[in-house]
Structure 1
Amino acid sequence: MGTIDDYLAALDPADAAVIGHAYDLAREVVPDAAQGLGYGMPALIHRGKPLVSLMRAKSHIGVYPFSPAAIVEIDDLLDGVDRAKGTIRFDPAAPLPDATVRALVEARRREIDGA
């Protein structure tokens, strides 16, 4: 098992399902992404750099693309979604749409590939 698998195994099953689905979507966009750590959080890694992390907090799930630019790039898909410079937050009962997760991961992948 990897860091993400270990993290998911420790979560409440409902939260694990929501977070696991988002990671599955990310792997569809970047199939060669590996499990690892980004700033101490379980994350998918692409070309040695953190791609995305999802973590359960007390009142939300946080999505961390390790890039404010990736969030800005998909801003039109985040209408009504709580976000800050480097974080997107959502209620686990109302997950981000699949297309939004894919667009975010694609934006971060392009950023890493261009670096």
Structure 2
Amino acid sequence: MARGVDADTVEEYLDRIGEPFGPALTTVRDRIMVIIPDAEQVISYRVPTFKVGGQSVVGLSATAKDCSLLLMSPPAAAELAGTLSEGSITGATLHFPPSAPLGEETLRAVLAVRLRELGVS
């Protein structure tokens, strides 16, 4: 189950989530922002969420042992299943260990699917 943190901003969330999750999620957040620099970073449902054109693209969170990239779309998760070299998909969530933040190639693949699905380029 995802761990929410009481925070008003993404920066607060990343600071408060603690080790080892905060640094890993910060790395992933920074990589996402390189790929979609115009994304709005907000807290939604107590987790960092990236929006484009007012639509939620992906979110970040942590469980008791893993970090998570919330795909927010079962169809996107099904399309990506078995195609990524990092992490593991359960439901609509891509889990990864905090010791191995998702790389840019994986994030580009995920974000391409989600942006296409949302009709945003």
TM over 0.5: yes
Q: What count of residue pairs does the alignment treat as equivalent?
A: 114
State how far apart, in whole Å, the 2-side matches of 1:80 and 1:37 are: 25
What pairs up with 1:65-76 in 2 under 5 angstroms?
Answer: 65-76=71-82
Range moving further from structure 2, 97-106 or 69-78: 69-78
Alignment correspondent of 2:114: 108
Task: Confirm or deny that 1:63 pairs with 2:69.
Answer: yes
Deviation at 1:46, TM superposition (A): 1.0
Alignment correspondent of 2:40: 34
Q: Which has the higher helix share?
A: 1
Pairwise CA RMSD = 2.3
State how far apart, in whole Å, the 1-side matches of 2:111 and 2:86 are: 19
Alignment correspondent of 1:17: 23
| One of 17, 31, 55 as aligned partner of 1:49 | 55
Note if contact 1:90-1:96 (Cα within 8 Å) is conserved in structure 2: yes
Give the TM-score, by structure 2 length: 0.78
Sequence identity (%)? 27
* Residue aligned with 1:35, SS: strand
Give the TM-score, by structure 1 length: 0.81
Structure 2 residues not aligned, in runs of 5+: 1-7
